Structure 1
């Protein structure tokens, strides 16, 4: 198989650490890529699938990912990295919970089975847990030689959760298995138990650890409920962790089935890395979106929202994609869904991000919601705070007192130095190219190539987000052609 690797024509030239990974781990039945966010861990998985397919080792791949991330594989990652000759043999389908009952969706899923080539099924963790999702994956695993991938595998860190048990059970039928996560230990070393067990059900047993309780006791020292009852005469209802232990042994064992890559070690990464995180609009959002798009107005309660001018139409469509629409002059708003799906994606990004970051949002209402969700982890920099408060917040962020700097690109996008941030999230984009370019550079300066910045655009499946990004790209392309700049990779 190494001969195939040596003759494999990469669609995109691999970085050194990606090439090394393929050379060392391509033929392993199970492996974990515990690579820091922004170290480009998706490409080697797609390359692995392509090479294993060429070698006749697999004819299927299932990718289970957080909601919205599975679509990123379909729209961005697979088209970008899979070689053209293999792409001709490949069919890719995304399981969509909202459409699972439709005949078109059922036909799309069924097309994966008779296909004479590489079939790829992309499904979210939530969708996997539906009756239809489980049945589809079981059928796929039993009928095709499958590489099964858990993206952001920390989603199965809880040993007794139904999701964890179901995915570990499904993994028994996969010929090859991979996990991807930049945050394998978000709370403590106990998070690793289930993730590694997905790769190899007998890994911990072979180390003499039989079950999650023994794992917890081996790597932690506890003041138990029984200890408290004996010494203090009451039962607190839980065991208290005193300290971790045997972490050197854990590190040694992990090296047998996974590897860790951090950005500081990867010298050939570009200074800016771009990715998109997608989400599915709610039924209420989609209905309002289509109504105002077709009729240029929508009735919300006692208010009539109109959008006769093109610029107003774009504004309203973008606001609806953010789960609300203004209903009056003093900015009262109507929320379409109690749970904002765009905010849920940001919450997921927050849980995956270590270190400081910036969140840019176009509308004040967006920033209100973001600040409410993040609480003391975030400081604010927009028109809702006075200049003195904004300055104090900026300085506090620069001192490392806040994880997130939340602002409006029009106010905070120029003149600030926020190079502590290694993650920049665009919750919602401005239509103006200058806002985008200048806000990107708040976290990046020349000479910072050894510390790449990861830029994440949150995108709905409504067409407005794609329209805005396409518009920004077209404006950037014109600038490139006139000034001779380098387009390279850009949203």
Structure 2
């Protein structure tokens, strides 16, 4: 029995025991890799190396639970944050290893890159998962080392790099300006990897909703308990219901939401749409997107900047940020195929309108909707109301907090 779709199964069927899956977002890389492990399993446990954001939200544990229930089996596995890889890789010799978001370990001279290489050599087999395998051949060096084609970066450069001068102040360093024997590189790379865009997986649902859950923040719990919060040496008092409602919604967990958004955006060049509520959220998102060098479009009370119809067919690597009240209705955003509900809206109408900006009749793109939800907070109650096709009202707020 398998819960894979036929196109997912076909990708799995063509893979070697150690392999790199370069698949588009929402293609089911997680499930494919779990079944890959089960296919090549020889009694060894599984290790999943993943971004800390995913470890916090428990996404891999949830997917493994789905497979265990479907197959009637128990999978022995451990999880490790990529940030701890350099310190702990030696504890997992003999494991079958899945490296999620493999672009995070692509640099062979970094601590995590070196640790990943060491771990791949002492694993039973390993799988690399990414939606963005490489922008240049330099990005693939650690993958080539892991699959045994070269001994080190020096050998790779000697055989393939065409070096030129790069000036750093008064210093001159050698940097690759082009690559030779590229047909050989392509042949080798294709021998251990497969690349499929999201559009290949035609039998997957056109729209997929993923609830990404976080733990409540220290700030949230302080406000809930004391109705005050110290920010930048200033004591903020939430002594009215509107102030309290707004504070609890904003401070549910801004840190982890921003961190998870960075992981998503950094791991794809697909177009993303983010619905937010607060100006402070907008400001932090803009800082993040500038750091990631994303093309930004924006819709709010002060700005209305969207790509032209001529730009949209070839548009990539963009993020459109919309405030609910301004961007949830009367605009078409089908060029985005990832949608993030950063902070929930109280309005059921705004929620359904926002849902329909990218998910529209005639849209040929598969759309993944990420709903950020902080457990055991007011956000849980808000999404409960929206699920029941209701606004989240002051009455529901008072009932939730037993005021």
> Normalised by the size of structure 2, how large is the TM-score?
0.83
In structure 2, how many angstroms separate the alpha carbons of the residues matched to 1:237 and 1:280? Answer: 48
1:447 is aligned to: 362
* SS class of match (1:456): strand
Q: 1:353 to 1:242 in 2, by over 3 A?
A: same
Matches within 5 A, 1:313-332: 313-323=244-254
* SS class of match (1:321): coil
The question of whether the paired residues in 2 share the 8 Å contact of 1:398 and 1:418 is answered with no
In structure 2, how many angstroms separate the alpha carbons of the residues matched to 1:175 and 1:466? Answer: 42
Cα displacement string for residues 444-470 of structure 1 (whole angstroms, at most 9, x for unaligned residues) = 22233x421222334556645555445
Q: Which deviates more, 148-157 or 427-436? A: 427-436
1:97 is aligned to: none
Cα displacement string for residues 219-242 of structure 1 (whole angstroms, at most 9, x for unaligned residues) = 4422246xx9xxxxx964222443
Q: 1:432 to 1:46 in 2, by over 3 A?
A: farther
Q: What is the Cα deviation at residue 38 of structure 1?
A: 2.0
Q: What is the Cα deviation at residue 413 of structure 1?
A: 0.8
In structure 1, how many angstroms separate the alpha carbons of the residues matched to 2:281 and 2:29? Answer: 31
Matches within 5 A, 1:231-310: 236-277=171-212, 285-286=217-218, 288-300=219-231, 301-306=233-238, 309=241
2:30 is aligned to: 42
Q: 1:274 to 1:196 in 2, by over 3 A?
A: farther
2:67 is aligned to: 81
The question of whether the paired residues in 2 share the 8 Å contact of 1:297 and 1:304 is answered with yes
Cα displacement string for residues 332-374 of structure 1 (whole angstroms, at most 9, x for unaligned residues) = xxxxxxxx44323222222222143212111121012212332
In structure 2, how many angstroms separate the alpha carbons of the residues matched to 1:382 and 1:41? Answer: 35
Measured on the aligned residues, the alpha-carbon RMSD in Å equals 3.0
1:21 aligns with 2:11: yes
Matches within 5 A, 1:297-376: 297-300=228-231, 301-306=233-238, 309=241, 313-323=244-254, 340-375=255-290
Q: What is the Cα deviation at residue 295 of structure 1?
A: 3.5
Matches within 5 A, 1:7-406: 9-10=1-2, 12=3, 14-25=4-15, 28-52=16-40, 57-70=42-55, 71-74=57-60, 76-84=62-70, 86-87=72-73, 89=74, 118-129=75-86, 131=87, 134=88, 138-139=90-91, 141-142=92-93, 146-185=95-134, 187-198=135-146, 200=147, 202=148, 204-205=149-150, 210-224=151-165, 236-277=171-212, 285-286=217-218, 288-300=219-231, 301-306=233-238, 309=241, 313-323=244-254, 340-375=255-290, 377-383=295-301, 385=302, 389-390=303-304, 393-396=305-308, 399-400=311-312, 403-406=318-321
Cα displacement string for residues 147-189 of structure 1 (whole angstroms, at most 9, x for unaligned residues) = 210000000111111111112212333212111000011x412
Equivalences, count:
381
In structure 2, how many angstroms separate the alpha carbons of the residues matched to 1:165 and 1:279? Answer: 31
The question of whether the paired residues in 2 share the 8 Å contact of 1:154 and 1:195 is answered with no
In structure 2, how many angstroms separate the alpha carbons of the residues matched to 1:307 and 1:460? Answer: 23
1:456 aligns with 2:397: no
Task: List gaps (5 residues or longer) in structure 1.
Answer: 1-8, 90-117, 229-233, 324-339, 477-491
The question of whether the paired residues in 1 share the 8 Å contact of 2:215 and 2:253 is answered with no
The question of whether the paired residues in 1 share the 8 Å contact of 2:220 and 2:253 is answered with no
In structure 1, how many angstroms separate the alpha carbons of the residues matched to 2:327 and 2:71? Answer: 46
Task: List gaps (5 residues or longer) in structure 2.
Answer: 391-403
Cα displacement string for residues 179-203 of structure 1 (whole angstroms, at most 9, x for unaligned residues) = 1000011x412111113433x3x2x
Q: 1:462 to 1:32 in 2, by over 3 A?
A: farther
Q: 1:42 to 1:247 in 2, by over 3 A?
A: same
In structure 1, how many angstroms separate the alpha carbons of the residues matched to 2:264 and 2:212? Answer: 9
In structure 1, how many angstroms separate the alpha carbons of the residues matched to 2:112 and 2:29? Answer: 23
Cα displacement string for residues 69-123 of structure 1 (whole angstroms, at most 9, x for unaligned residues) = 2334345322333334545x3xxxxxxxxxxxxxxxxxxxxxxxxxxxx321122
* SS class of match (2:52): coil
In structure 2, how many angstroms separate the alpha carbons of the residues matched to 1:218 and 1:279? Answer: 47
* SS class of match (2:339): strand
